[in-house]
Amino acid sequence: MVCQWNASNQLESFGYCYWDIHGWFSLIICIYGVITNIINIMVLTKKSMLNSINLILTGIAVSDLVTMLSYIPFAIHFYLMNDLTVTPQRYSYGWIVFMAVHINLTLTTHTVSIWLAVIMAILRYIFVRPTSRGSKTLDNHSTFLVIIFSYIGSAVLIIPNCITTGINETFSPKFNASLYRLNPPAIGKNDTDVMALVNFWLYPVAGKMIPIVLISIFGGLLLHTLRETDKRGRRLKGGNYGSQHKAHRRTTIMLLAVIVMYILSEVPQAILVILSACVDGFFVKVYAPLSDLIDSVALINSAVNFVMYCTMSTQFRRCLMEMIHQWLHLIREKSKVAWPNKESTEPTFV
């Protein structure tokens, strides 16, 4: 589809123009994110890395991985293999069913991810707060149960959205075939039914607003505690921190960076969702043209953690390098088996 700018409707023009690049951009981000999140899981689950925070980061990596695995076929079919032209190939029954599953699955994984980030922020604040004694935190078994509960709770939270997701069939005389579409969201309308209202109050409020408020509060408390700890350390030691304090400080800064990324990616979307539910026509006029951009921001947030871990965590880098060395050693050993030394098998001429 050719990008054509319409000055009278700039937001819609932006949506069409960004659609042209969203397919390739999202595919590249998703492929990168699948690879890096697999690496995140492998590193964070190593025996030397196991603790409550890293288990939660592993849970986030799994949810981000599922999100991107689902988005890859979605981007290929609806953006790269087909344009916006209404055709039976683009809007076949099978692909619309896939779209319905994809939407509800990614809503679930996004909810899991942000709630795990909230739990991570709370645990880290409890760990570093000045009044804590003995650096209390959850043990690995309890943390694993919290992660499982987060996944189950998020899935339950999306059930009303699954119920309200419907498929509409229309017959096209032009193609002499049926076309299938998802029913538009029943929000921001005067005739909104009860289930749509329940869905609104459950997902945007419990899946967006509450976790955003909590992660902002505890992120702010973490930042305040970090500053107070730095001031106290400078007074007591003249700025010469111990190695353990430096490690805790780097970890806290890394987790604050993760929290900031969630705030930047989730707050605008939450505001748009609420306005779509409260303002008649807002979803079609504003949210829909920006939906691809919103997806891109969410995908970037799901893929960027590997970069932050590598740049901010010495332990993560060390475990990653050890794992790479093990892979290279394994490849060398297998290559020796597959291609033995030819000098031992070839005849020697004197």
Give the pLDDT of residue 347: 46
Whether 327 is in a domain gets the answer no
At residue 180, φ and ψ (nearest 5 deg) are -120, 135
The CATH number covering residue 98 comes to 1.20.1070.10
Give the pLDDT of residue 349: 40
Whether 204 is in a domain gets the answer yes
Contact between residue 283 and residue 188 where contact means Cβ atoms under 8 Å apart: yes
Q: Quick check: 246 pLDDT over 90? A: no
Whether 220 is in a domain gets the answer yes
Whether 229 is in a domain gets the answer yes
Whether 349 is in a domain gets the answer no
Give the pLDDT of residue 30: 96
Indicate the average pLDDT of the chain.
84
Mean pLDDT of 310-331: 90
Q: Quick check: 340 pLDDT over 50? A: yes
Lowest mean pLDDT among 6-20, 81-95, 297-311: 6-20
Most confident of 62-71, 153-162, 273-282, 310-319: 62-71
The structure's pTM equals 0.87
Mean pLDDT of 65-76: 96
At residue 3, φ and ψ (nearest 5 deg) are -75, 120
pLDDT: which is higher, 69 or 126 = 69
**Residue 130 lies in domain:** 7-317
Number of domains in the chain: 1
Mean pLDDT of 283-304: 91
Give the pLDDT of residue 350: 37
- Tens digits of per-residue pLDDT, 4-54? 777 677 888 888 889 989 999 999 999 999 999 999 999 999 988 989 999
Contact between residue 245 and residue 233 where contact means Cβ atoms under 8 Å apart: yes
Whether 336 is in a domain gets the answer no
Residue 162, token pair as written in the block? 């699954």
- The span from the CA of 178 to the CA of 93, in Å, is 9
Helical pair 52-75 and 10-44, crossing angle rounded to 10 deg: 130
- Tens digits of per-residue pLDDT, 188-240? 555 556 666 677 677 888 888 899 999 999 999 988 888 877 777 666 655 55
- Tens digits of per-residue pLDDT, 113-164? 999 999 999 998 888 876 655 456 788 899 999 999 999 999 999 988 888 8
- The span from the CA of 72 to the CA of 30, in Å, is 6
Give the pLDDT of residue 144: 93
Give the pLDDT of residue 236: 60
Whether 137 is in a domain gets the answer yes
Whether 323 is in a domain gets the answer no
What secondary structure does DSSP assign to 194-256, as a single string? HHHHHHHIIIIIIIIIHHHHHHHHHHHHHHHHHHHHHHHHHHHHTT---HHHHHHHHHHHHHH
Give the pLDDT of residue 344: 47
Give the pLDDT of residue 56: 95
Q: Quick check: 88 pLDDT over 80? A: yes
Residue with tokens 């069939």: 169
